[in-house]
Amino acid sequence: MVERLRKARRQSLKALVNDALREGLKSLAARNRARVHVETESVDLGRCLVRDVDDVAEAIAGAEGESFK
């Protein structure tokens, strides 16, 4: 994306980054809108069906058999 913008604007990388920072800082300073509070309901999914969720490959192998590879 940066390279595409750089070519379209015919700017150096340094100039493009500086412009992007300036625009970003302006938009951050201009934001005074109140944020909307969003809440997600929790749901009880029951107990975990996989013993060790750290090894994803093993969990998939247990659920789908060794043919998943």
Domain residue limits at 11? 1-31
pLDDT (0 to 100) of residue 12? 92
Residue 44 within any structural domain of the chain: no
Residue 21 within any structural domain of the chain: yes
In percent, the amount of the chain with pLDDT more than 70 equals 87
pLDDT (0 to 100) of residue 43? 94
Question: How many domains does the chain fold into?
Answer: 1
Burial group, residue 11, by CB count within 10 angstroms (0-12, 13-18, 19+): middle
pTM to 2 decimals? 0.40
Of residues 59 and 42, the one with the higher pLDDT is 42
Q: For 32-43, b where at least 16 C-beta lie within 10 A, e where not — what string? A: eeeeeeeeeeee
Mean pLDDT of the chain: 82
Residue 55 within any structural domain of the chain: no
Residue 16 within any structural domain of the chain: yes
Q: Mind listing the pLDDT tens digit for each residue in 2-34?
A: 888 888 989 899 998 999 989 887 877 776 667
